[in-house]
Amino acid sequence: MASIDNQPAHTDEHELGEHFTQHDGEPEGAQAAEANKPKTSPHILDLDLPQADFDLTSTFESILSEPQSRDEPAEVQLVQKRASNVFKLTQENEKLQAELRAMTARLEAAERRQQELAQRAAAARSQERSPPPS
């Protein structure tokens, strides 16, 4: 066995400097290990995911434009259908109210004529009862 005296003396600085020489914040040994590492692509997971038919050719203008009827959600279509029904019912209501006003006007006119005829008949009777002055 070799004696300790025959071996070269190593200082703590020498040993540390040999393995931990700083270069860009990394130990020299780490750079050498990365240089020797083979370049590989990142690991890609093999998943069975359903493929979607996305249309990725949309433009900014098409996104901001009004939605097409086939793309509208069912709730929007339902609200539009209700709005259409309300509009139709409003129009029908206005029509019926106009008819009611016309019928009321005719009824009032008929009642006035009936009163006028009743007054004329009463006046004619009163003239018949009173003898004419001779």
* Cα–Cα distance, 43 to 41 (Å, whole number): 6
Q: What is the pTM of this model?
A: 0.38
- Is 28:36 a contact under the CB 8 Å cutoff? no
- Is 28:19 a contact under the CB 8 Å cutoff? yes
* E strand map for the chain: 22-23, 26-27
Q: Which residue has the higher pLDDT, 32 or 127?
A: 127
Residue 31: pLDDT band by 50, 70, 90 thresholds?
low
- Is 13:21 a contact under the CB 8 Å cutoff? no
pLDDT, average across residues 23-46? 61
Map out the domains of the chain as residue ranges: 76-134
